[in-house]
Homo-oligomer: A and B are copies of this chain.
Amino acid sequence: MKRSVSALDWPTLCGRQPAAALIPQSLREHAKFFEAQTRETLFRTGDPVRHIHLVISGEARLIRMDRHGGEIILQRSRGGFIAEASLDSRAYHCDGIASEPTAILALPASAFRSALDADPAFCKAWQMQLAKEVRKLRAQCERLSLHNAADRIIHYIESEGTDGVLILSQSRKSWAAELGLSHESLYRTLRRMQDDGLLFVDGTRLATKP
């Protein structure tokens, strides 16, 4: 299943996922590549943190269950790292799953820490990665603080899209979960916003202007 990437080729990997380019040689040697199926578990809450995962293609999610079995999406990574902050934790605080067929690079946590110590450029890149995640999470908190569905939708398009246009990279149902809404509410609100001329929808393309 898992195999060393010495068999694969790094230029191709870096082409597919820019974050791969940041990884120094010392760490590359320890990378393991594998492919996960839909709903396959990468790690579970409580598992010791042995690897840092880089999503090459597909999508991985960080999730927790609320008290009544509802699934809460804490991170959704399509290309790039997932559960970055686990690097200095003993164990995971959430579950990690692939939400579609996904290609993953697993980097041993210990080698990862050594590489950060040894390579200042990698260290700085990792810091920027964490800072970016902080900003993304603040935007998510701001969005979840909005008290109605339409405002959250607009906020999402403005902050995750480009120039008022968003190409939705997931089903509407799971988008609803990310917005903290029931999927019925999302469908109804999208409909109403279109009727009111506040939103222009064409397949997966959502725009706030015509």
Contact for A72 among B120, B128, B142, CB less than 8 A: B142
Q: Does A208 contact B (CB under 8 A)?
A: no
* Residue A146 is within 8 A (CB to CB) of chain B in the complex: yes
- In this assembly, does A204 line the interface, its C-beta being within 8 Å of a C-beta of chain B? no
Q: With A93-B135, A134-B133 as known contacts, state yes or no: A145 contacts B144, CB within 8 Å.
A: yes
Which residues of chain A from 122 to 170 have any CB-CB distance to chain B below 8 Å in the complex? 123-124, 126-128, 130-135, 137-138, 140-142, 144-147, 151
Q: Chain B contacts of A126 at CB under 8 A?
A: 127
Chain B residues contacting A132 (CB-CB under 8 Å) are 85
In the complex the two chains form, is A141's CB within 8 Å of B74's CB? yes
Q: Which of B74, B124, B131, B151 contacts A138 (CB 8 A)?
A: B74
A residues engaging B (CB < 8 A)? 62, 64, 66-67, 72, 74-75, 84-85, 87-89, 93-94, 116-117, 120, 123-124, 126-128, 130-135, 137-138, 140-142, 144-147, 151, 180
